Amino acid sequence: MARRVEVSPFDRAYEGVLEYIDSHDLKEGDRLPSERELCVALNVSRTTLRSALAQLSAHFLVECRPGAGNFVRPQHPIIHLDDLSGFSEVVAKIGKTAQARVLSNDIVPCPAPVAPLLGLSEGEPVFRLRRVRGIEDEVACLQTSYVFARACPGIEDIDFAQASLAETMRTRYGMDAAHTSITVTVVRAGAEDAAALEIPKNSLVFFERGRRTNANGAPVEYTETLYIPERIGVVCTTVFERPGNSGDSLREGA
């Protein structure tokens, strides 16, 4: 005899909200029913519903506006920390086009903090690319990338407002990234960075440091990126292995 599987109230609320959005063909910016109506429709308590809405908000699916209600959130790209996809690929996944505006692209002496991350000595020549990246016409992040200049002759002459740095490294210079190491913190944007991002000074932003290496562990690129949280999400997936329960996962949004 098949055993009945009970769905937890949280899962019923979480999946129920998603099903409501789909079945009622709600679009970006549309308002969900009141919490009282959703509680009745999904047969859950208000505490459970609010927990589900908070999780949906963390996953960038619903926007909770205090005093106004809950709304279908405009679709934004999500950076997965366990994914090697570049910014353009992440934006393309939601059917939008990535844009780039180059602030500077030049050969400079390698800064002291960057040198060990690229396996170089301080002062060795590196190519530094500084770009504002956008989604359609909306600024989303400020990215500064460093690569070893001697391994990439002529790289400073490439138009990276159009070209992908990762693709150029792979196809033109044979430097393909196989692994990435990323750390993400929350910082306040300084005056220069805030101006480039077109946000107020001291706004909170995600600060990502990323080091990409090839299959042999040799450094390919080091990147520092500031993301505007309201326009792009950061998600980490952690998999817990348990005896007899392999593959359980916990996904967290930032």
Return the domain boundaries, the chain: 9-74, 78-236
* Residues 6 or more apart whose Cβ sits within 8 Å of residue 63: 57, 70, 71, 72, 73, 74
Integer Cα distance of 124 and 109 in angstroms: 5
Percent of the chain with pLDDT over 90: 60
pLDDT above 70 for 234: yes
CATH code that applies to domain 78-236: 3.40.1410.10
Q: Determine the average pLDDT of the residues in 66-84.
A: 78
Closest CA to 230 of 96, 65, 115: 65
Integer Cα distance of 179 and 168 in angstroms: 17
Q: Determine the average pLDDT of the residues in 164-175.
A: 93
The domain at 9-74 falls in which architecture?
Orthogonal Bundle (1.10)
* Residues 6 or more apart whose Cβ sits within 8 Å of residue 84: 177, 178, 180, 212
Integer Cα distance of 68 and 89 in angstroms: 34
Alpha helices in the chain (DSSP H): 9-23, 35-42, 46-58, 87-92, 165-171, 191-197
- Residue 244: what pLDDT? 54
- Residue 89: what pLDDT? 83
pLDDT above 60 for 245: no
β-strand 125-135 against 138-148: which pairing, if any? antiparallel
pLDDT above 80 for 37: yes
Q: Determine the average pLDDT of the residues in 74-101.
A: 79
Strand, helix or coil for residue 181? strand
